[in-house]
Structure 1
């Protein structure tokens, strides 16, 4: 077995073991620090910067994440989980169309924060092989539920493929520059307005709901 595959195997095995309370705290601190450092410096940021921000030693970081790719993949999975889970709270606090719009904005922020991740995902590293599947397995059902609720309420038309919409927005979200994010928000609003049309006539219920945000 190659050194790289052996490292991936060790990482997967370690991730299945229950962590002690102190080890769990260290892991949470490392993942949160990595998320912030990746946002500002990209996924190739120095590991020592992540360890320093997390308040742990380099050795502690490497024991849990032997390869940089292990850390990047773990941060990605955790953020996917958090982004998908926020749909529940957003839906509970807003009407269907507004919930759809707000969650898609959250999704835009998620994508914008992944500086350098696209290149990493296509690097051929085995640690990243399962991430596209993980992405779709979490985000497609989340968006499908939001779309179904908005359709059932009469606020948008039907037959919208969740993956098509995820990809369309993904193609717009290629930077974490604040001006570009605001531009993506504006394009999203145009997309949402387009979903409100049926046979060239904007749905009355959707029109009042959207502009009442």
Structure 2
């Protein structure tokens, strides 16, 4: 089991990143809430991971903190919720926001997540209620373990920032039409892809 990676962030192509550890480059899929917390490329970062082995693939999922990983592991135990849907949930809201939705039976917000129909949302609320009744967030949940913390300053936007944002949203389960519409609605000159994705996700929830 690979539980943690610490190394140099080489590339960010949401929802995937490439991180080099001791000369080995690991491709890791992460929820957007975790990617927002990453530093710039070529900086050092530590991410908590969940390793999945299937007959046709070996997949590595990464998280900003143990709280997000804990919730991911609880989510994939729910019937009908796989890693892709769990990532979509954690991309649209933080772990604490999801816990709040469950506590308040907020069905309307849950069903806005791509891939979550009414029946799945109801199952999530019912089954997660018991799993989260003694929920305690990791005390370091809001502090991503970094050697160099990304301060969130606006980076120079890549020419294809809009295209990258649309591709990321599609990979999270949104249709191309939904992704394109949301990106068009929030895009402003100079925005990088991460900012576009963040604002687009907010507009759809």
What TM-score, normalized to structure 2?
0.25
Q: Which has the higher helix share?
A: 1
Higher-Rg member (1/2): 1
